[in-house]
Amino acid sequence: MMNQQEIMGLKEMAYQMRMNLMTLCGTFEGSVHIGGDLSMTDIMIALYHYGLHVDPKDIKMPSRDRFILSKGHGAAGMYIAMALRGFFDFDEILNTYGQLNSKYGMHPCKVYLPGVETSSGSLGHGLPIGCGMAYAAKVNEQEHRTVVLVGDGESQEGSNWEAALAAHQFKLGNLVVFIDRNRLQLDDFTENQMSMEPYADKWSAFGWNVINVEDGNDMTQLVAAIDQLPPTSSDVPTAVICNTVKGKGISFMENNPDWHAGSVSQEDMNRGMAELTNVWNQERGG
Amino acid sequence: MGITFNFGEFAASRTICGDTLREMGERNKNIYVLTADLMRTCSVKGCKEAFPERFINVGIAEQNMFGMAAGLALEGNTPFITTMATFASMRACEQLRTDICYQNLKVRIIANNAGLTSTGGSTHNAMEDIGVLRSMANMTIIVPGDPNIVKDILRATEDIPGPVYLRLARGKGEPVVYHPDEVDYKVGKAIETRRGQDATIIACGVMVAQAVDAANLLGKEGIFVRVLDMHTIKPIDEDAIIQAAKETGIILTLEDHYTIGGLGSAIAEVIADNNLNCKFKRMGIPQVFPGFGDGPELYDYYGFGLEGTVDTLRGML
């Protein structure tokens, strides 16, 4: 449970994360997966600042919750969310992202960046890995949770559904999947490309507990969803379907398939950041 | 005559493997055994009985099995995946490469029915697996030449921090080559199965026994053929290859795998990289999808059975 003031604190953090993302996107000359980074921003903040039991000073703490970014192209979003939690330094991310010998690449690499639980980037890999981690935790009678963030387009990969069967079969109640349901994938809207609906029913049919977050960019709803998660001793894995907006917060990016990945001009960066600041000021003022 | 005895006996590497895994798993609580609905085929039922919590049967879902193995290894465990070589190398190829090799995880893949041993036709013939896996960084590849050595191999790999692929032949009815306890097994160090200075056959897997048979036949003609059991394909024993090329001047490679990408290719690379001047030929499966029949029948049919091996080597002298 969080009070209104605490939720405002999370919202401010999400505003800061979007500002940092735009700064990176306007500074780095190569491609940043900005659309999906912006859709998952609120989920990442809710997790790293509320839902996950983690300690940036002790990244190998045995009791930590494990977080896997299965949609590995959201790496910049993860780096920044973790930086805001004290794991990394944003300036280092900004100054080295995507460069030779950087720890911060387009897709997360555990070899270069031990603070992440696993390397990822090829889609459909995170949930099976998460199943393995959650299974080991159960055998070892550990109480932490394994949380996997999956993209909705990504869930077209069949390996997810192999893992979904296994998580149910092995009673991995300590496993939670957050789905960034932004309804867009690289080429098109998901429902045009390869229809996912009825999406929640698919997870239910695989034996999962489903929590629907009507607005996955609303911090209050995300916190409420986290509060509803079953204890890790339960027998049923949970899917939290977060209905989000790709490009959230930047008007020219929202719901626009052109903004899967890219970089922005100085002018657009400033325009976007001004939009974010206006909305945040209204939120804070209201 | 070298260190070898070829008893004309057969053993089942799957059973030896299953028994060894059970024993290792009982001793070490970090060991998991995984299979994808092939518990019976892989002879790992004993593991299920001995440590049911750490025995995971994922159903017919290899991608998830390899991903789960990565997750288990990231938590500090040593998972042993048991399946057929086709599925291990191709059905979950990307999980093996990206989840396991990329992070250099301590996962062991025990793959049976390799080469043409399956009798199942080309859906079940793993003819590409060494080629596919050999290009993956961090990977160790072992193809035992004698089923009885599997126990030593499993123990010898305990300290290898990264992934290991253990390629078994059919898993049963495999020729025994060595006298028990005679071989001092070391990963990455070829076994000189038979001494000789006129030519060298470098073989792996079930082909080691055939190489010994060929060498024995030629021995009766006064031709002394060295046989190297190149059980570790990666990292390969360059010194043994260089020595064979220099001392015998003739190298014939023999494997139950496509001649592209496997043992023969690995040895050709060493010869080329070291500017070695020797006669060289590769024997193995040609670029076809073989039909049905058992291993020895198909080896003969495609010209790399015992007779073909002897004839080819004779032609190189």
Question: Residue B179 has what pLDDT?
Answer: 84
At A125 the three-state DSSP class reads: coil
pLDDT at residue B7, rounded to an integer: 65
Q: What is the pLDDT of residues B14-73, one digit of tens each?
A: 999 999 999 999 999 999 999 999 999 999 999 999 999 999 999 999 999 999 999 999
In contact, A39 and A254? CB cutoff 8 Å: no
Which residue carries 């989840």 as its tokens?
Answer: B99
The pLDDT score that the predictor gives to residue B2 is 46
Task: Say if B68 is an interface residue toward chain A (CB within 8 Å).
Answer: yes
Partners of residue A109 in chain B, C-beta under 8 Å: 102
CA distance A141 to B18: 27
Going by pLDDT thresholds of 50, 70 and 90, the confidence category of residue B183 is confident
Smallest Cα distance from B104 to chain A, Å? 9
Judged by a CB distance cut-off of 8 A, whether residue A169 touches chain B is yes
Contact A166, B58 (CB under 8 A): yes
Pairwise CB contact (< 8 Å): B74 & A129: yes
Tell whether A40 lies on the interface with B, counting CB pairs under 8 A: no
Domain ranges of chain A: 4-285
**What letter does residue A48 receive in the DSSP assignment?**
I
pLDDT confidence bin for A286, thresholds 50/70/90: low
**What is the rounded CA–CA span in Å between residue B238 and residue B243?**
8
User: Is A128 in contact with B77 (Cβ distance < 8 A)?
Assistant: no
Domain A4-285, CATH = 3.40.50.970
Give the per-residue pLDDT at B215.
97
Which residues in chain A touch residue B70, judged by CB atoms under 8 angstroms apart? 118, 128-129, 132
pLDDT value at residue A75: 98
Q: Determine the 3-state secondary structure of A39 from DSSP.
A: helix
pLDDT per residue as tens digits for the range A108-166: 999 999 999 999 999 999 999 999 999 999 999 999 999 999 999 999 999 999 999 99
Backbone phi, psi, residue B251, to 5°:
-130, 125
Task: Give the rounded distance of the alpha carbon of A40 from its chain centre.
Answer: 5
Per the CB < 8 A criterion, the answer to whether B263 and B255 are in contact is yes
Size of interface A-B (CB pairs under 8 A): 97
Q: What confidence score (pLDDT) does residue B200 get?
A: 98
What is the predicted pLDDT for the residue at B209?
A: 96
Sorted by sequence, the CB contacts under 8 Å of residue B311 that are 6+ apart come out as none
pLDDT at B158: 87
Q: Is the pLDDT of residue B110 over 80?
A: yes
Amino acid occupying residue B308: G
Beta bridge partners of A149: A69, A178
User: Does B1 score more than 60 pLDDT?
Assistant: no
Q: Is the predicted pLDDT of residue B4 greater than 60, yes or no?
A: no
Q: What is the pLDDT of residues B138-173, one digit of tens each?
A: 999 999 999 999 999 999 888 999 999 999 999 999
Mean pLDDT is lowest, of B4-8, B87-91, B307-311, for B4-8
pLDDT tens string A247-281 = 999 999 999 999 999 999 999 999 999 999 999 99
Angle at the Cα of B294 from the Cα atoms of B288 and B300, rounded to 5 degrees: 60
- B64, A139: Cβ pair inside 8 Å? no
As a whole number, mean pLDDT of residues A189-197 equals 95
In chain A, what residues touch B76 (CB-CB under 8 Å)?
136
Query: To the nearest whole angstrom, how far is the Cα of B290 from the nearest Cα of chain A?
Result: 30
Is B28 within 8 Å of chain A by CB? no
Identity of the residue in A129, A158, A163 whose CB atom sits nearest the CB atom of B99: A129
pLDDT at B210 over 80: yes
Q: What is the DSSP letter of A115?
A: T
pLDDT in tens, A206-243: 999 999 999 999 999 999 999 999 999 999 999 999 99
CB B4 within 8 A of CB B33: no
pTM: 0.96
Tell which wins on pLDDT, B5 or B279.
Answer: B279
ipTM, two decimals? 0.95
Query: What is the set of domains in chain B, with CATH numbers?
Result: 10-175 (3.40.50.970), 191-316 (3.40.50.920)
What DSSP element (H or E) covers B252?
strand B250-258
* A237 part of contact set with chain B, CB < 8 Å: no
Chain A residues with beta carbon closer than 8 angstroms to that of B57: none
- Is B66 close to A128, i.e. CB distance below 8 A? yes
Q: Specify the pLDDT at position A176.
A: 98
Q: What is the pLDDT of residue B182?
A: 82
Residue A68: closest C-alpha in chain B: B71
Using a CB–CB cutoff of 8 Å, tell me whether A137 touches chain B. Answer: yes
Residues in a beta bridge with B11 = B174
